[in-house]
């Protein structure tokens, strides 16, 4: 996604499609809005994760409107890395991402529900963080971004390929092992 791929509000000017669940951290959020509150996101990233987070193309929401689906490039800078890593994010209504819901349901079933099944059923919006770093030296930047989004959106995370589901704590544990 480049500057020419967005409209005057910074919204994707192309049809946003969900990413394949095999190549993304998938989150199911209860909040139906596609709004990126960059000030909040950056604050949470810095305060609770020690991460500097920026958006490549700022977004505006005139009259409180948001797009039905959107995409963004996030710049994720974790300690110990020379530069920020570019990570792609997409968001679509859950109805447009049936594979994401099925994968999340299977992940919740694999851990015996544990309350994640309820969160999955309440999901109205899918947020996906590409597991591939577009640019940068931090292969775990996508997982860090997924953890940040999970903490903000109160959404469970399905890792690339599925098989399980976890929350912020599980993401932090995985980052600690990396």
Question: Taking Cα atoms as reference points, which of 55, 91, 97 lies closest to residue 76?
Answer: 55
pLDDT in tens, the chain (178 residues): 555 699 999 999 999 999 999 999 999 999 999 999 999 999 999 999 999 999 999 999 999 999 999 999 999 999 988 899 999 999 999 999 999 999 999 999 898 888 888 888 899 999 999 999 989 989 999 999 999 999 999 999 999 989 999 988 989 999 888 6
Are the C-beta atoms of 30 and 123 separated by less than 8 Å? yes
Query: CA 128 to CA 99: how far, in whole Å?
Result: 12
- The pLDDT assigned to 178 comes to 67
| Sign of the torsion formed by the C-alpha atoms of 109, 114, 119 and 121 | positive
* Site of tokens 């989150």: 27
Q: Where are the alpha helices (DSSP H) in 21-140?
A: 38-49, 98-110, 116-122
Instruction: Please list the residues that pair with 59 across neighbouring strands.
Output: none
pLDDT in the model for residue 120? 87
Q: Whose structure tokens read 């948001």?
A: 66
Please tell me the predicted confidence (pLDDT) of residue 26. Answer: 98
What are the angstrom distances between the C-alpha of 166 and each of 2, 96, 114?
32, 22, 10
88: region left, alpha or beta (phi > 0 left; psi from -120 to 50 alpha): beta
The pTM score is 0.94
Q: What pLDDT was estimated at residue 175?
A: 87
């Amino acid at each position: 996604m480049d500057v020419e791929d967005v409209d005057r509000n910074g919204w994707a000017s192309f049809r946003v499609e969900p990413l394949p669940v095999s190549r993304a951290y998938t989150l199911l959020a209860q909040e139906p809005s596609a709004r990126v509150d960059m000030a909040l996101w950056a604050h949470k990233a810095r305060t609770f994760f020690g991460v500097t987070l920026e958006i490549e193309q700022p977004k505006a929401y005139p009259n409180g409107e948001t797009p039905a689906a959107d995409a963004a490039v996030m710049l994720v800078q974790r300690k110990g890395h020379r530069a920020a890593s570019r990570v792609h994010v997409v968001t679509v209504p859950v109805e447009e991402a049936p594979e994401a819901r099925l994968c999340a349901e299977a992940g919740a079933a694999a851990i015996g529900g544990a309350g994640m099944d309820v969160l999955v059923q309440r999901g109205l919006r899918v947020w996906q963080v590409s597991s591939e770093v577009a640019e940068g030296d931090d292969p775990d930047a996508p997982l860090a971004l997924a953890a940040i989004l999970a903490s903000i959106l109160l959404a469970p995370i399905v890792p690339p390929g599925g098989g399980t589901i976890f929350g912020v704590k599980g993401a932090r544990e995985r980052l600690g092992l990396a």
